[in-house]
Structure 1
Amino acid sequence: MLTYIKESIEELKNNVSLPSRAESSNLMVVVAIFSILFALATWGVDTVFSKVIKLYFNNLLN
């Protein structure tokens, strides 16, 4: 386990590079936009399914 931790730290020091501040900002905007779009799509599908289920049970009970 200690060997794994040591190798992980070594890899982080030598092989990982962080993006620039501008690139990070651009990526953050992209993630925020896709998150909002995905939330709206989920809300839309939920609304449609909810109405379909209500319609089905209203017709079933009447």
Structure 2
Amino acid sequence: MAGIVNYVKESFGELKNHVTWPTWAEAQKLTVLVAVFSIIFSLAIWGVDTVFSKVVGFYFNWING
């Protein structure tokens, strides 16, 4: 149990003293960037999924005659 407590204390000290945190403006800018790329990526996946769905549907309609 002492090992876990020591680990938490050391982790907290590391985060407090050695991690370089971004400024508030930089964090906001990066958050917007991640949101925009997530939306673009999800739209691209949706588009590919729609195309494949149509292709498979046409294929099975062609097979079934």
Give me the TM-score of the superposition, normalised by structure 2. Answer: 0.84
2:24 is aligned to 21
- 1:1-62 alignment runs, 5 A limit: 1-62=4-65
RMSD: 1.1
Q: What letter matches 2:37 in structure 1? A: F
Q: Which runs of 5+ in 1 are unaligned?
A: none
Q: Which moved more, 1:19-28 or 1:50-59?
A: 19-28
Identity %: 56
1:10-60 residue CA offsets vs partner (Å, 9 max, x unmatched): 111111232112111211121111011101101111101100110111011
Q: CA deviation at 1:2?
A: 1.8
Give me the TM-score of the superposition, normalised by structure 1. Answer: 0.87
Question: 1-side partners of 2:9 and 2:21: how far apart?
Answer: 20
Q: CA deviation at 1:8?
A: 0.6
Q: Which moved more, 1:25-34 or 1:46-55?
A: 25-34
Which ranges of 4 or more aligned residues in structure 1 deviate by more than 6 Å? none
